[in-house]
Amino acid sequence: MDHNAAFQAYETAALSAIAAATDAAGLEKVRIEFLGKKQGQLKDLQAVVGKVAADQRPAVGKLFNDVRDKVTAALEERQKLLEKPKKSLTAIDIALPGTEFKLGKRHPLTQTMEDFKDIIGRFGFTVADGPEIEDEYHNFKALNIPDDHPARDPLENFYLSTASYAAGQPLQPRLLRSQTSTVQIRVMEQQQPPIRIVSLGRVYRPDTIDATHSCMFHQMEGLMIGADVTMAQLKTVLRLFATTYLGQDVTIRFRPSFFPFTEPSVEVDMSWGKDWLEIGGAGMVDPNVLKAVGYDPEVVTGFAFGLGIERFCMRRHQIKDIRRFYENDVRFLAQF
């Protein structure tokens, strides 16, 4: 047999033996048979090289090395595959739990909003939505907030530059909404009483950022309109809502206050340790607001409330600094 045929025969036999090995022990036998230094097929092949004429020996020696390297590489590849049977394509056990990837989690504020919808949904409130970029009419005017009210001050709001006002529309200043009360108006424009909705989302104010203030935060707005909605119902809904989310040990306090869109108005506080923390405002919907959307205040009444979502989440999880919510530090987020 000339050396070429011998190399070819060796290679074919070695590669098919390697491919046929199904475990580490079987593969080791193949290694000794085809790559063993002291005996076996490699030794025989070496003898073939020894027999060629001296002037051909360098070229044939190189061929010998190539064949040996190829078989060695195939063997090592097969070894790796057989060492990790669970990861080979034919042996994935889809019932085993995953270990290499950690599942992500919903942001604590998202979790809180899901809980809120769940709890308030049990009182019959459905979820409505409204835009974050608003016009002055929905953010102020329809809510009975007059032109000269300090809340409309450009320094208290994020107004958009005039260049961004919608093309072809009358030039009405627009801003990032400063409160979710805007959605009260948007819902009442579209629907007739009875109404029982909440709306959860972001609001924006150019406040100085500190442990309890942010220029963007979340509110849950509530609105209930009907034939004889009362302040007693409002207080009951807010108390039940707060104790369901925070636990029976929380005390809810109502303080007389003023908002242009409610009459009478209250501010709502919750107990936190020895302190009181304001969590929102509420009241009976002002007749002027009902008139603005075409309702008859002699026929329907209603209550409204606006709650700060961050503060509920902070009390429940004992978070002392609102800025943690927006830093996206996974060491913080992974705890929820």
Q: Does 179 bind ligand DAH (CB under 6 A)?
A: yes
Query: Can you tell me the distance from the alpha carbon of 326 to that of 333, in angstroms, rounded to the nearest whole number?
Result: 10
Q: Does 200 bind ligand DAH (CB under 6 A)?
A: no
Only one of the segments 26-34, 124-132, 166-174, 300-308 lies at the binding site for ligand DAH (rule: CB under 6 A); that segment is 300-308
Q: Does 214 bind ligand DAH (CB under 6 A)?
A: no
Q: DSSP readout, 221-251?
A: EEEEEESS--HHHHHHHHHHHHHHHH-TT--
Only one of the segments 76-84, 125-133, 164-172, 298-306 lies at the binding site for ligand DAH (rule: CB under 6 A); that segment is 298-306
Q: Which DSSP category does 175 fall into?
A: E
Smaller CB separation from ligand DAH, 41 or 219: 219
Q: Does 286 bind ligand DAH (CB under 6 A)?
A: no
Find how far residue 99's CA is from the centre of its chain. 21
Only one of the segments 24-32, 38-46, 122-130, 304-312 lies at the binding site for ligand DAH (rule: CB under 6 A); that segment is 304-312
Contacts of 22 (CB under 8 A, 6+ apart): 82
Q: Does 259 bind ligand DAH (CB under 6 A)?
A: yes
Contacts of 19 (CB under 8 A, 6+ apart): 78
**Structure tokens given for 222:** 């509530």
Each residue of 11-45: b (16+ CB within 10 Å) or e? beebbebbeebeeeeebeebbeebbeeeeebbeeb
Q: Does 134 bind ligand DAH (CB under 6 A)?
A: no
Query: Can you tell me the distance from the alpha carbon of 239 to that of 248, in angstroms, rounded to the nearest whole number?
Result: 10
Query: Rounded to 5 degrees, what are φ and ψ at 268?
Result: -115, 130
State the DSSP H helix or E strand holding residue 68, giving kind and residue range, or none if neither.
Answer: helix 57-83
CB of 197 to ligand DAH, least distance (A): 11
Only one of the segments 11-19, 82-90, 278-286, 312-320 lies at the binding site for ligand DAH (rule: CB under 6 A); that segment is 278-286
Task: Please state, as a whole number, how many other Cβ atoms lie within 10 Å of the Cβ of residue 157.
Answer: 21
Only one of the segments 73-81, 155-163, 276-284, 289-297 lies at the binding site for ligand DAH (rule: CB under 6 A); that segment is 276-284
Q: Does 197 bind ligand DAH (CB under 6 A)?
A: no
Coil/strand/helix, residue 158:
coil
CB of 109 to ligand DAH, least distance (A): 17
CB of 181 to ligand DAH, least distance (A): 4
Only one of the segments 6-14, 80-88, 123-131, 303-311 lies at the binding site for ligand DAH (rule: CB under 6 A); that segment is 303-311
State the DSSP H helix or E strand holding residue 330, giving kind and residue range, or none if neither.
Answer: helix 330-333
Contacts of 215 (CB under 8 A, 6+ apart): 158, 204, 205, 206, 207, 209
Q: Does 312 bind ligand DAH (CB under 6 A)?
A: no
Coil/strand/helix, residue 319:
coil
CB of 184 to ligand DAH, least distance (A): 7
Residue of 75, 279, 282, 314 that binds ligand DAH (CB under 6 A): 282
Smaller CB separation from ligand DAH, 108 or 222: 222
Only one of the segments 41-49, 83-91, 299-307, 315-323 lies at the binding site for ligand DAH (rule: CB under 6 A); that segment is 299-307
Q: Does 292 bind ligand DAH (CB under 6 A)?
A: no
Coil/strand/helix, residue 199:
strand
Number of residues binding to ligand DAH, judged by CB under 6 A: 12
Q: Does 204 bind ligand DAH (CB under 6 A)?
A: no
CB of 281 to ligand DAH, least distance (A): 3
Q: Does 302 bind ligand DAH (CB under 6 A)?
A: no
> Which residues are near ligand DAH by CB under 6 A?
179, 181, 221, 259, 262, 280-283, 304-306
